[in-house]
Amino acid sequence: MPGCHSGKTWAKLWDVELRFRMSQTNLQSHDVMRCTWCHREDLTITQDHVLPRSIGGTLQYAVPACSNCQTILSKAERDLSRKSLLAIHALSIQGSPRHPKRPTSGLLQAGCLLVEHPLGGYGESVLRAGQKLQALSHVEIKVVPGEPVEARVRGPSWEESERIFSGFKSVLANVPGPDGLVCEINVSLEVPPSVAEDPDFWPRMILLPDGKLMIRARNPDEAKRLGLAMTQLVLNAPPRSPSTWTSSEIKGGTTHQLMIQCEPNSVRRIVAKIAYGVFHCIAGLEMPKGDDIRLRHYILGNSVPGYEPVSESPTPDQTTTDTAFHFVALAPEHDRQAAIVCLYRNSFRVQIGSAGTALPKPILLLCATDRSGMRLATTDEAESILKGLESLTWIAPSSSTE
């Protein structure tokens, strides 16, 4: 296991370290095994990260799982690491995207990410894992009825901005279908209220990272006017030259308008998965059958209505991205029937019932957010973290999106 432990700490943790090594050995053997989540034994079993790989989890702590359950859970994990508020932390950690050759890999799946542009209007950006904000090329057009039509072209370079015009011109050249349709372009009406109220926000056509085009507007009528104006602009384009391009830099500290939407239940299910997985990797105990079934069904999204084992502690409005470790605390002294899962300083409580009281003492697992490894906490680390948990309060979850 990674990390340095004193002799005293090793003596305390040796039993759980040994149990973990034994579980890893069993996982790699050819014995008949069952999936941790659905308990089926007739499917191909592989290893499932206890903490999602996308937020730093490694196979040092893993449980056996079938491909069916991993597919179900991967969708919820993607919500946590690409769509929720926690995604901002996950993407700020240094490291390459998981699939560097895929244009959309590692992107924050935000409704929009806008910033006031020094030359007027609002710029479009995306955030990718391990990289700085990336500006997107777009053409914004003022299409207010009764007012002169104006256009602004924005992007990281003149060459990139040209791709919008060439791309839209190529789709307009398509042969019309039986219904006269030439092309289809996705339209997003996701604009933060404070931006939508600003007359300097103009609807725009955006070149997305995957090379596709998208229209962003306040409402369908505005999107339609933008499409017609963009068509005229492309078909009757005035001469453009690189010499007319003006570069500008958005200074650090400039406020960005970020809109993200996530199903909160996806985040809570993965939090419950982490608690359950850590318990079974380290505790060496079985949960009472009823508690076990309810929690596993909840994790897979099949829970009984009204059953909610996860609550959350209020977090500060300030979002920081300098967290070195996640941690999972099983059965802290002041709350023996719970597992506390802390991800990027966001704390969750998972009800594990009498299974927690069966532990002889609390267990604390650390996971480096930079993907460098997972380890049990030292005595000093555990005492400091567990003491801090005593002051946390918990609130019932809401069903609204973030």
Token pair 């930079």 is at which residue?
370
What pLDDT was estimated at residue 225? 97
Residue bearing tokens 């470790």: 325
Residue 105 belongs to a domain? no
Instruction: Answer yes or no: do 237 and 272 share one domain.
Output: no
Q: Can you give the pTM of this predicted structure?
A: 0.80
Which pair of structure tokens corresponds to residue 263?
């199903």
Task: Give me the pLDDT at residue 312, please.
Answer: 95
Containing H/E element for 324?
Answer: none
* Residue 305: Cβ within 10 Å count: 5
- To the nearest whole number, what is the mean pLDDT of the chain? 86
Band (284; pLDDT cuts 50, 70, 90) = confident
Q: What range does the domain containing 25 cover?
A: 7-88+264-389
Q: Token pair 């404070």 is at which residue?
A: 194
Do 274 and 376 fall into the same domain?
A: yes
pLDDT above 70: residue 226: yes
Residue 22 has pLDDT above 60, yes or no: no
Nearest to 69 by CA among 269, 305, 232, 247: 269
pLDDT tens figures, 310-334: 999 987 655 556 789 999 999 999 9
Q: Are 363 and 61 in contact (CB under 8 A)?
A: no
pLDDT category of residue 12 using cuts at 50, 70 and 90: very low
Between β-strands 186-188 and 213-216, what pairing exists: parallel, antiparallel or unpaired? Answer: parallel
Q: If you average pLDDT over residues 2-6, what whole number do you get?
A: 37
Would the pLDDT of 93 be above 80? no
Domain count, the chain: 2
pLDDT given at position 319: 57
350-377: string of b/e by CB count within 10 Å (b at 16+)? bbbbebbeebeebbbbbbbbebebbbbb
Q: Which of 259, 288, 318 is the last residue of a domain?
A: 259
Domain boundary among 238, 259, 280: 259
Last residue of a domain, one of 259, 292, 307: 259
Q: Judge if 227 and 318 occupy the same domain.
A: no
- Give the pLDDT score at 85: 87
Q: What is the pLDDT of residues 124-141, one digit of tens each?
A: 999 887 777 889 999 999
